[in-house]
A and B are shown apart, each in its own frame.
Chain A
Amino acid sequence: MKAHLLYPDRDFDFTAEPGPLHDDLVIDLELASVLRAMAAGDRFLLDVSRSVLLESLDDVGLILYRQAVLSDCIEQEDTVRGLYATVVAALQDKRGLFWGIRSGSPRTNLSGAITQLEGFVVRLREVRQVADDHLEHVRSEGLRNLFESIRRDLDDAYFEILRGHLRRLHFQNGVFMSGRLDRDNTGIDYVLHSPGTKRRRWRERVGLAPRTSYSFTVPPRDEGANNELADLENRGLNHVANAAAQAADHIESYFTMLRAELAFYVACLNLRSALLERGAPVVFPVPLPSEPARFTCGDLRDTALVLQTAETVVGNDVDADDRPLVLVTGANSGGKSTFLRSVGLAQLMLQCGMYVTASSYSSSVHSAVFTHFGREEDESMRSGRLDDELRRMSVIVDAAARHALVLFNESFSGTNEREGSEIGRQIVEALLERDAAVFFVTHQFDFADGFRRSRPSTTRFLRAERAGDGQPSYRLVPADPLPTSFAVDVYRRIGGFADATPGAPGAGRGDGGALHSAEQAGSDAVASKRAG
């Protein structure tokens, strides 16, 4: 019995090893916030969401298959949540029981197994009821197949058979078993007889006459006192208990599979509610073939940031169709990293069949999404920063195929600007030749300006915009790179390095021509942008 909500022809493999770069994606794109919203407190939803989000599809047909299921789920939200709740409840029933049968003797295992099986049958009936009631309301291939298979495989006749076995397993007329004598006259090889056979009893009594010194008697109800008898019975029940426990495990694995297949969609419902609650736009994206290079978005917002802040997050409109390189420059703290994350997250969401946080979004599908973000120094302490950056880049290249999407954030800045630019240029050129799409946030003017000269028509240049008051607007606009960044603004705003006390030695020191001219350049930039 299969659900196949994520793939039309197979289960999702949740046991697959995570890719070597998945952790980087999670950190760089701040996926934790998104996953938390998807989980809404359910750890299982979090694990599933993580796996599905990171295991990108590059097949437009599969993406549309999931979009159809998700679309059904959005329309039938109560039904899907109800079904998921039933499945979770079934699994929790069992977990609750497990606390009681930890001793692990056959007798306790058997009675635990029976209780589990009885509980599972009740839940299976509920699942069947959902399928009966809602088959006609769903349109997607995935959900239709699921409901039809439930109605077929869990029909009334089958439930009747289950009922019979559960009744007999209670052994209401006692346990009957045969055994044989071992050579020291103790009993071994007990075989349990089907309920109904004539009752026989095993008795063994050791008649020692100890010299009494001090004694005590355990009350008959004391478990310890009845150990011998219980032990004997346990040997007989061993194989039946095993079979019953395995049956319970089989049904549990069915519920687990069902939960896993439903989980992703429930998580999508959770995230959708969270986004709508914060007034963010949610739309199904248009997945396009890998070629030609397509990327267009309207009001695209960083999903993670939307979830992290109470304030309204600024969205971006970008048209980069036929421009596989997008270069982002401009003010620090101006929303460049946020934009990069918004693209990475949206693309991951698109490629797992989700909606995206935008008013419109269409993009080619990529073989995989990679992030190369500035990082704290390598744990081993042996490599310098550039070394670490190059090592991580090399890992990405190992994993990359044609048509990858690579997001760079201030990469190759672990050396001086001239050399960092040259390394970056070679890597980006090679990636583009291999049909990758590249988004690159950089403050290195030399690097950015090089592409303005060499690839003017296949590069989209974006710049972090400043409003008239010099404060960042967090909105990116199409604009060529400027030959300065705005570090000096920040430096002046925080009041310099020396003691701020007026007249203190060093206050305002070095506040010379360089500072003024840099500020001048900044104002010029704003002015020229306005003029443009």
Chain B
Amino acid sequence: MGVGHDETPAFSLLGPPGRVVAVHNEREHAPDLRLDEVFEAITRGREDEEALEALFFQRTRDAEVVRYRHEVFRDLDDPAVWEAALAFCGSVREVLSHLSQARAMRVSEQRQGWTLDAAAIYCAAVRKLAGDLDGLRLGSRGMRDFRRYLLECSASAEFGRLEAESDECKAALGDLRYCVHIDGGRVTVTRDEGETDYSEEIHSVFERFRQGAVRSYLVSYRAWPGMTSVGQRVLGLVVRLFPEEFALLGRFTERHAGFFDPGVDRFYRELQFYMSYRQLVDSIRSGGLELCYPEVDAQSKEELVEDTFDLALAIKLLSAGEKVVANDFHLGEGERIFVVSGPNQGGKTTFARTFGQLHHLAALGVPVPGRQARLFLCDRIFTHFEREEDHSGMTGKLETDLLRVQQTLRSATAASVVVMNEVFSSTSLEDNRLLGAEAMGRLIELDCLTVYVTFVDELASLAPSVVSMISTIVPGDPAQRTFKVVRGPANGLAYALALAEKYRLTRPQLLERIP
């Protein structure tokens, strides 16, 4: 086995080894922020999918851990390191799939064959990664610790033996040739003695009768991972014909069944956190958008983000070849709450979602959308987006809404982030204003970071800690949106009728559409 397989490896990519990190592990806000679908998409099909996905919900308030992960990400920004990691992951995936294939086999020689192949690929992958990393400049503590471990592991006598024996076995089995004769119910297997292709002989014997093209009677058979009973019996005879080669294979798999070093395994699994997210970063950067390593702080709530965007929306828009609009925001001294109002379809919801996403991502230690960012490491994230009405308990929508808001406002602390998007929308304007003021009063008192999207203008000027933001339109074309959300006084213009006209829903338009 590899070096140190019976103790905790002396490295970790996810945080300084030995440091106890408190994590915030809620997911409730993820669907509203559309982060669940982002994480689901980037982890799908990877090793230990669920455990990997779970990492993306484990936020920390420890700035040291965030910086530790940034270091690893920065190492992977080096194309040479990135290529080495990619190649290694590709090989390990193949090794793991071979091993699971092997486990599924009933026939021992088949099982052994898959295992041998897995071992050979594993040896090459470890050898290559050690060689690649050896020559590279690594800046992160995580990657440097692992390199030290890997170099020791690949230089060990044990690894040398694994490598040599897998080569030997491969060569022996690769050279083997045999024949099968079937006569009625009788099947005979022999060593190959260089017989010529009989079908060629038949072809040439009857060739003189040939008048033109003939149709093909070849039946195509699919390859199955298992084996028929006849196939098994044939293989049994082949084994008897070539006892030494198979004895070699048997000894190899017996000796090296658990060839996969646990430290290398741990590295591979932890690396998936970085690989999965960084692949996303790459595809977003290639769409012309920026992600950055944010400055993080668990104390200061002064924030500044430039050119940020909704990650989930960007993925969709970029894949459709559409343009993504980026936004800036900042919270100065004493400023805590963004009240966002203005025309609909103007990016208010997107702004709210972006704000929530940034705080989640910053606390994972991953790059965040934006050219530069300074963000607060929050404890909990509360989101309140309109939900589908639930009739099952005959509870009205309003009561459900109010109970959810109440729950949020009673659980949030000064270190929380709250995102409320058009709550109370099922009430009258008057009720909306009233309940909005109640909720805002509580948020102001809590002093927590908040985005509150509403069309009730009055809420934007309740306290000095409240910052009014508005979505904007193209001057002269009210139906067109810029998706820019900027600081500005709430002005009550929602341009709704312009939008109705765009959908041809004004009365004259409708009378034309329904003749």
Judge whether A384 and B428 touch: CB under 8 Å: no
Do most interface residues of chain A lie in helix, strand or loop, or is the interface mixed? Answer: loop
Contact B510 A427 (CB under 8 A): yes
Interface flag for B334 (CB, 8 Å) = no
Q: Does A24 contact B (CB under 8 A)?
A: no
**In the complex, A212 Cα to B349 Cα: how many Å?**
80
| Cα(A6)–Cα(B184), bound, Å | 60
Given contacts A210-B181, A417-B429, contact A380 B316 (CB under 8 A): yes
Question: Across the interface, do A218 and B185 meet the contact criterion of CB distance under 8 Å?
Answer: yes
B434→A376 contact, CB < 8 A: no
* Shortest Cβ gap from B137 to chain A (Å): 41
Contact A184–B206 (Cβ < 8 Å): yes
Are A487 and B344 in contact, with the CB atoms below 8 A?
no
Q: Is residue B306 contacting chain A, with contact meaning CB distance below 8 A?
A: no
B4 within 8 Å of A (CB atoms): no
* Contact yes or no, B189 A215, CB < 8 A: yes
Query: Complex Cα distance A435/B349, Å?
Result: 38
From 393 to 415 in chain B, residues with beta carbon under 8 angstroms from any chain A beta carbon are 394-399, 402-403, 405-406, 409-410
In angstroms, Cα B410 to Cα A236, docked, is 81
8 Å CB interface, A219-239 against B: 219-220, 222, 224-225
Q: Are A487 and B349 in contact (CB under 8 A)?
A: no
- List chain B residues, Cβ under 8 A from A393: 503, 505
What residue in chain B is nearest A472 (Cβ atoms)?
B396
Give the CA-CA distance A310 to B80 in the complex, in Å.
67
B507 and A426: CB pair below 8 A? yes
Interfacial chain A residues near B389, Cβ < 8 Å:
337, 373-374
- Decide yes or no whether A419 CB sits under 8 A from chain B: yes
Contact check, A387 vs B345: say whether CB atoms are below 8 A apart: yes
CB-based contact B188/A218 at 8 Å: no
The winner among B316, B455, B492, B505 for most chain A CB atoms within 10 A is B505
Contact-residue bracket for chain B:
35 or more
Q: Is A400 an interface residue (CB 8 A)?
A: yes
Task: Pick the contact of A426: B184, B425, B502, B506 (CB < 8 A).
Answer: B506
- Report whether B399 and A484 are in contact in the complex, using a CB–CB cutoff of 8 Å: no
Query: Is B494 interfacial (CB-CB < 8 Å)?
Result: yes
Q: Is A333 on the interface with B (CB-CB < 8 A)?
A: yes
Flag if B425 contacts A401 (CB, 8 Å). Answer: no
Tell me the complex Cα distance, A63–B141, Å: 78
| Beta-carbon contact of A381 and B344 below 8 Å | no
Say whether A487 contacts B410, CB under 8 Å. no
- Quick check: is A485 within 8 A (CB to CB) of the other chain? yes
Tell me, rounded to whole Å, the shortest Cβ–Cβ distance linking B76 to chain A.
29
B222 within 8 A of A: no
Contacts of B313 in A (CB 8 A): 381-382
Which residue of chain B has its CB nearest to the CB of A401?
B514
Contact B496 A419 (CB under 8 A): yes
Chain B residues contacting A443 (CB-CB under 8 Å) are: 426-428
Partner of A217, one of B179, B186, B387, B410: B186
Whether A423 pairs with B435 at a CB distance below 8 angstroms is: no
Contacts of B385 in A (CB 8 A): 377
Cα–Cα, bound, A203→B441 (Å): 96
Give B205's nearest chain A residue, CB to CB: A184
- Chain A to chain B contacts (Cβ below 8 Å), 28 pairs: A213-B191, A214-B240, A215-B189, A215-B237, A216-B233, A218-B185, A225-B184, A308-B391, A332-B397, A382-B317, A382-B345, A384-B346, A386-B345, A387-B345, A393-B503, A394-B503, A397-B504, A397-B510, A413-B426, A414-B425, A415-B496, A416-B455, A416-B492, A417-B428, A426-B507, A484-B430, A487-B428, A500-B410
Q: 10 tightest CB-CB pairs across the interface, nearest first?
A: A333-B396, A430-B510, A487-B431, A210-B181, A384-B344, A419-B496, A417-B429, A214-B237, A213-B190, A426-B507
